[in-house]
């Protein structure tokens, strides 16, 4: 078996990828796994434990992707595996209520104190899609405001871009989405109070909700001014619209509460996913009772799911949250800080146009120099080019980062200092080679 850092052969991955392309579109079931934007081929995993994944060729990689966010305790955490295993003996799906749903709902509500009721679904996409329907049903209005560079899953009405820098009607980012579906989606740049104000002035009485990742983390890590988020809250209140925070990535990532708590803004509805399923498919949304009770079976807004509240998924989520005690959060923060502090001199030494943006256990190699961007259009157009050599170089040295310049990295509680320092050292070498 190849050890960390040895030259890696990927013969078996190549063979499987060739075969997969006969059966699966592009060989993958989610496009970003395809390595297209870093000009490589996907790596086939065999097994994973803690911070380490082992591919089908026996290469070991330190994983900073962690399944794109859910695995805050790393791969196959023994306690989560044990819990799921135990529950599995009692059945894999009930299609009927069980105590696990109550238990996970209690944990979610404890952290998201504005939620009086929770509804579980099976993915982040479903969570946001359903939150939007609920907001429209509750307000009796059709329009949405979303932000350029925020991703909310592949929800039709939110798969929308905007023209450069202007607040405008959305244009669908994918064929297959009817014009009429996005005709009620308004798009504003992030970090732009005036643009949102303008949209409310134009369409205020028709706007059902403002949907935002309060910590935008799907198009780089575009940290927002607190005042901007407060502004959104105030505009929603003034015009009777609901504020939806999509915390599918940021939820349960911070010691002091939701990201809303951190900035002192309480949304009307929060959507969750990723961490709350601990590696099994879970999404959730929640709000105060008056809003949630518009949902069927109490109210008229319909939303359902065969596998919603799945007992194995609830159990994985429960254990994941229970393992997130103060010391787990402190550990995530100190590992994040170690990354930030150790990488600084390396980036300075090489004068390479890439910055580290970090908040807690989330980090982004942000292509460019100077002040990190707060809006999608401030990310340099050559970001992909700047990133792909770094990605490839680190992969060769045994460190796996997301195969896209626009995706962030995830630190898990099981990462060790040597993994962080090893990655920084590898980056030092990669940047030297690039000179
Ligand atoms: C990942 C993500 C989604 C979509 O979740 P899926 O489980 O992939 O459907 C939605 N919103 C945000 C902010 C996300 O990070």
- Residue 329 designated active-site: no
Mean pLDDT in residue range 301-309: 98
**pTM score, whole prediction:** 0.96
Q: Which fold has domain 325-406?
A: 3.90.1150
Comparing CA positions, the residue from 133, 165, 132 lying closest to residue 149 is 165
The one catalytic residue in 55, 57, 191, 246 is: 246
Each domain of the chain, given as residue ranges in start order, spans: 78-322, 325-406
Residue owning the nearest CA to atom 11 of ligand 1: 152
How high is the pLDDT of residue 168?
55
Pocket test for ligand 1, best of 273, 283, 406 (most atoms within 8 A of CB): 273
Ligand 1 centroid distance, CA of 58 (Å): 30
Answer left, alpha or beta for residue 245, where phi above 0 means left and psi between -120 and 50 means alpha.
beta
| Closest ligand 1 atom number to CA of residue 274 | 7
Tokens representing 337?
A: 């800080």
- Calpha distance 237→225 (Å, rounded): 19
Nearest-angstrom CA–CA distance, 148 and 146: 7
Residues 296-316: what's their mean pLDDT? Answer: 98
Per-residue buried b or exposed e for 87-102, using 16+ beta carbons within 10 Å of the residue's own CB: beeeeeeeeeebebbe
Residue 103 has pLDDT above 70, yes or no: yes
Strand residues in 88-241 grouped as ranges (E): 117-121, 143-147, 160-161, 168-169, 171-172, 185-188, 207-212
Tell me the per-residue pLDDT of 366-408, one tens digit each, with 9 for 90 and over: 988 889 999 999 999 888 888 999 999 999 999 999 999 999 9
Confidence at residue 346, expressed as pLDDT on a 0 to 100 scale: 95
- Closest protein CA for atom 14 of ligand 1: 248
Give the model's pLDDT for residue 3. 52
CA of 123 to the centre of ligand 1 (A): 7
Closest CA to 115 of 317, 285, 324, 296: 285
- For residue 188, what are the contacts with CB-CB under 8 A and spacing of at least 6? 145, 146, 147, 148, 162, 167, 195, 196, 199
120 alpha carbon – ligand 1 mean position (Å): 14
Which pLDDT score, from 0 to 100, does residue 166 have?
45
Q: Out of 274, 329, 387, 406, which one is annotated catalytic?
A: 274
How many other β-carbons are positioned within 10 Å of the β-carbon of residue 257?
A: 13
Mean pLDDT of 201-226: 97
Say whether 261 is catalytic: no
The rounded percent of the chain whose pLDDT value lies above 90 is: 85
Probe residue for ligand 1, chosen from 124, 156, 219, 269 as the CB with the greatest number of ligand atoms within 8 Å: 124
Contacts of 9 (CB under 8 A, 6+ apart): 2, 57, 59
Is a pLDDT exceeding 90 seen at residue 268?
Answer: yes
| CA-to-CA separations, 61 to 29, 111, 191, 426, in angstroms, rounded | 22, 33, 37, 13
Which residue minimizes the CA distance to atom 5 of ligand 1? 124
- List C-alpha distances in Å: 330 to 53, 116, 227, 412, 428: 24, 28, 27, 12, 27
Rounded to an integer, what distance in angstroms lies between the CA atom of residue 184 and that of residue 146? 11
Tokens of 41: 């081929």
Instruction: State how far Cα 154 lies from the chain centre.
Output: 13
**Per-residue pLDDT at 165:** 40
Q: What is the spatial distance between Cα 217 and Cα 334, in angstroms, rounded to a whole number? A: 20
CATH class of the domain at 78-322: alpha beta
Q: Is 285 a catalytic residue?
A: no
- Ligand 1 centre to CA of 213 (Å) is 10
143, 151, 285, 387: the active-site residue: 151
Query: What is the C-alpha separation between 399 and 77, in angstroms, rounded?
Result: 20
Give ligand 1 pocket residues (Cβ under 6 A). 123-125, 128, 151-153, 213, 218, 246, 248-249, 273
Mutate to test the pocket of ligand 1, among 274, 407, 409 (most ligand atoms within 8 A of CB): 274
319-363, pLDDT tens digit by residue?
Answer: 999 999 999 999 999 999 999 999 999 999 998 888 999 999 999
Predicted pLDDT at 435 = 76
Which pLDDT band holds residue 164 (cuts at 50, 70, 90)? very low
Q: What is the pLDDT of the chain when averaged over all its residues?
A: 94
pLDDT score of 434: 86
User: What single-letter DSSP state applies at residue 295?
Assistant: B
- Mean pLDDT within 81-90: 98
For the ranges 3-7, 52-56, 284-288, 329-333, the lowest mean pLDDT is seen at: 3-7
Taken in order 251, 409, 222, 388, the sign of the CA dihedral is: negative
Contacts of residue 374, Cβ cutoff 8 Å, sequence gap at least 6: 190, 191, 222, 223, 224, 225
First to last CA, the chain: 31
């Amino acid at each position: 078996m190849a050890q960390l850092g040895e030259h890696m052969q990927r013969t078996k991955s190549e063979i499987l990828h060739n075969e997969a392309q006969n059966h699966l579109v592009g060989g993958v079931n989610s496009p970003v796994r395809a390595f297209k934007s870093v000009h490589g081929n996907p790596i086939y995993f065999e097994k994973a434990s803690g911070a380490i994944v082992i591919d089908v060729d026996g290469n070991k990689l330190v994983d900073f992707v962690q399944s794109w966010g859910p695995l805050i305790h790393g791969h196959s955490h023994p306690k989560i595996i044990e819990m799921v295993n135990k529950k599995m003996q009692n059945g894999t799906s009930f299609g009927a209520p069980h105590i696990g749903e109550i238990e996970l709902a209690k944990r979610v509500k404890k952290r998201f104190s504005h939620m009086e009721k929770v509804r579980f679904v099976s993915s982040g996409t479903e969570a946001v899609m359903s939150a939007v329907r609920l907001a429209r049903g509750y307000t009796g209005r059709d329009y949405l405001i979303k932000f350029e560079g925020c991703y909310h899953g592949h929800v039709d009405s939110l798969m929308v871009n905007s023209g450069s820098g202007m607040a405008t009607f959305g244009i669908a980012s994918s064929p297959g989405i009817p014009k009429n579906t996005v005709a009620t989606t308004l798009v504003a740049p992030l970090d732009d109070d005036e643009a949102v104000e303008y949209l409310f002035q134009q369409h205020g009485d028709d706007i059902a909700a403002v949907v935002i990742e309060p910590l935008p983390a799907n198009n780089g890590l575009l940290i927002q001014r607190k005042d901007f988020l407060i502004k959104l809250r105030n505009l929603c209140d003034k015009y009777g619209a609901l504020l939806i925070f999509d915390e599918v990535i940021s939820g349960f990532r911070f010691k002091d509460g939701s990201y809303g708590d951190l900035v002192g803004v309480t949304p009307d509805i929060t959507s969750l996913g990723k961490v709350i399923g601990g590696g099994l498919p879970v999404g959730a949304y929640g709000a105060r009772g008056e809003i949630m009770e518009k949902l069927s079976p109490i109210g008229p807004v319909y939303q359902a799911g065969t596998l919603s509240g799945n007992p194995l998924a609830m159990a994985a989520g429960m254990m994941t949250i229970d393992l997130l005690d103060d010391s787990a959060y402190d550990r995530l923060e100190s590992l994040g800080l170690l990354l930030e502090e150790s990488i600084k001199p390396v980036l300075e030494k090489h004068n390479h146009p890439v910055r580290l943006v970090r908040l807690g256990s989330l980090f982004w190699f942000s292509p460019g120099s100077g002040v990190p961007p707060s809006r999608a259009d401030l990310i340099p157009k050559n970001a992909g080019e700047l990133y792909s050599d770094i990605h490839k170089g680190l992969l060769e040295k045994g460190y796996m980062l997301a195969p896209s310049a626009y995706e962030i990295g995830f630190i898990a509680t099981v990462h060790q200092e040597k993994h962080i320092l090893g990655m920084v050292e590898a980056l030092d070498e990669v940047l030297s080679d690039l000179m």
